[in-house]
Amino acid sequence: MTTATLTPPRSRTGTRGLSALIGAEAKLFLRDPGNLFFVVFFPTVLLIGMGYAIPGMREPITDLPEPWLGLRAIDLFAPLMLCVAAATGGLTTVAAYLAGYRETGVLRRMATTPMRPQGVLFAQILVQFAGVAVGGALALLIASVVFGTPMPQNSLLALVVFLLAVAAMFSIGVLIGGLAPKGSTASGIGMLIYFPMLFVAGLWTPGPLMPDAVEKVATYTPLGAASQAMNDAWFGLGMPWLQLVVMAVWAVVMFVLAARTFTWET
């Protein structure tokens, strides 16, 4: 088993080779029904299911103070779908794909071509990020059209939070994918982390309804911090400096660990 440092992709064929690799990864992404569903459509399906299947989700909130008063529960879950999209892409597909590529020898074979194996890593993350961005945007579009959910009061902050959430979740996914010996193993580890992450993010109990003790713990988790910061951006609650720092620290630390431990061959 060999270990290599993750460095920016460089190719003796230049940007043309990298563009071709990104195109190939995009085609593989679109041809994988499971990957396409969970990354692009799952947040939307989850939001619609919650809005119509759970009683009271579309009823006005009357027992919370401003700015929650008069909103509906579904309005609190809509911004969370951006966090769900980031977690789904990072902890399930990114981890499984990278481990699967090593398991099947893709990374080893790429080392014998003009395009270095780092190019596969870069292309895969780029394509998965595009899928996550489309999935998040689709969920927001449906939330607005179907449920009339308001959009963020601070759109720029919401974008920053989303990017940091993706960075934090993808960094964990790269770490898992770089260490797991098989794609199935990486997928299993990712799912073990995925559901607790969704819990602290407020998927079962929205942030305003979350117990104080759980909320304090959630603040120092990457997805919990993302959810709290997204709520602040959505409902104009101020600048969530602590949560932004928490996400940034998680992203940097996990990427550094991934860079030092990533294995290119089994």
pLDDT tens readout for residues 139-181: 999 999 999 999 999 999 999 999 999 999 999 999 999 899 8
Confidence of residue 111 (pLDDT cuts 50, 70, 90): low
Confidence of residue 62 (pLDDT cuts 50, 70, 90): confident
| pLDDT, tens only, 196-209 | 999 988 888 776 67
- Predicted local distance difference test score (pLDDT) of residue 57: 85
Q: In this predicted model, which residue has the larger pLDDT, 144 or 114?
A: 144
Arithmetic mean of pLDDT, 20-41: 89
String of DSSP letters for 116-156? -HHHHHHHHHHHHHHHHHHHHHHHHHHHHHHH-PPPPSSHH
Confidence of residue 266 (pLDDT cuts 50, 70, 90): low
> Of the given ranges (3-7, 67-71, 183-187, 259-263), which has the lowest mean pLDDT?
3-7
For tokens 């699967």, name the residue.
Answer: 100
| pLDDT, tens only, 208-226 | 677 888 889 999 999 999 9
Asked whether the CA dihedral 98, 101, 104, 110 is positive or negative, the reply is negative
Give percent of the chain above pLDDT 70. Answer: 89
| pLDDT, tens only, 73-95 | 899 888 999 999 999 999 989 99
Structure tokens at 266: 């089994």
| pLDDT, tens only, 4-16 | 445 444 444 445 6
Q: Which residues contact 112 (CB under 8 A, 6 or more apart)?
A: none
- Predicted local distance difference test score (pLDDT) of residue 214: 86
What gap in Å lies between CA 159 and CA 193, rounded to an integer? Answer: 24
Q: Using alpha carbons only, how large is the chain's radius of gyration in Å?
A: 19
